[in-house]
Amino acid sequence: MRLTSIFGMLGLANATTLLLPLYIWPGPGNPQNWASVFSALASYPTVSFTIIVNPDSGPGSSPGPDSDYAPALARLNSYQNARVIGYVHTSYGSQSASALNANVTHWQNWNNYAQTAGNQNTTISGIFFDETSTANSKVTYMNNAAAFAKSTLKPSGGATPYVVYNPGTSERQSYFNSNVNLIVQFEDTLANYDTDNPAAGIPPSEVSQTAFIGNTASGKASDVTKNVKSAKAQGFGGIYFSADCCYDSDLSLVSTVAAALV
């Protein structure tokens, strides 16, 4: 069954997704470091999770996931409300198109991995393009990267690949098109998040494709809950607040964000 169909059956297709940068290594031989993510997926089955994995500033050099990542990915993919996407950095448009395409192709190799590794479902269902440009001159560059991802990735079940851009700030309207599912128009500390008016300057036509990622939110669970509920009520496409700065050490707010999206 296609992942898109599953999301539709669960009432998640148009819901605000929990956009989780999961940059923590899963753990040796056992994905225990991701335990709080598995718990949240199980506890909030009506919440859509879009989970970004990033083993080495992208897929790294190995032909497929190693013995730590393979079982962890398989467990993520066992949840119907989880979509796993792979990290690719564009260096604000300075990476060559061939380098971007090579990383996307490498992630597709992870999709092939199940055939040679005990049928573990290591599916990567999309790409998170980090450090994307906001320049007019890079619109075609990003459109081509997204189109390549859509045509190259072959998620299990025939799902349509999911593409996210992350400029981390307001993006030009020309970047919004059918090739991209979400654009992160805020990535900064919780202290700099506009709690009262996160939609300031965002045209109504962009709201459903706009996501926010806040960080450095440790000890601010009530503020996180308020902001997530507000973003969901306004129809934004994705949101997450991390307790730490860099998404590589603290998953304590995953359940807080998920609960606010119910």
Q: Where are the domains of the chain?
A: 3-260
Parallel, antiparallel or unpaired: strands 49-53 and 82-89: parallel
Cα separation of 25 and 22, whole Å?
8
31-84 pLDDT per residue, tens: 689 999 999 999 999 999 999 999 999 998 877 888 888 889 999 999 999 999
Question: Residues 182-200, buried b or exposed e (16+ Cβ, 10 A)?
Answer: bbbbbbeebeebeeeebbe
Q: Is the torsion defined by CA of 108, 111, 116, 117 positive or negative?
A: positive
CATH code, 3-260 = 3.20.20.80
Partner residues linked to 210 by β-bridges: 183
131-138 mean pLDDT: 96
**Higher-pLDDT residue of 155, 174:** 174
Q: For residue 1, what pLDDT band results from cuts at 50, 70 and 90?
A: very low
The helix (H) or strand (E) run that includes residue 184 is: strand 182-189
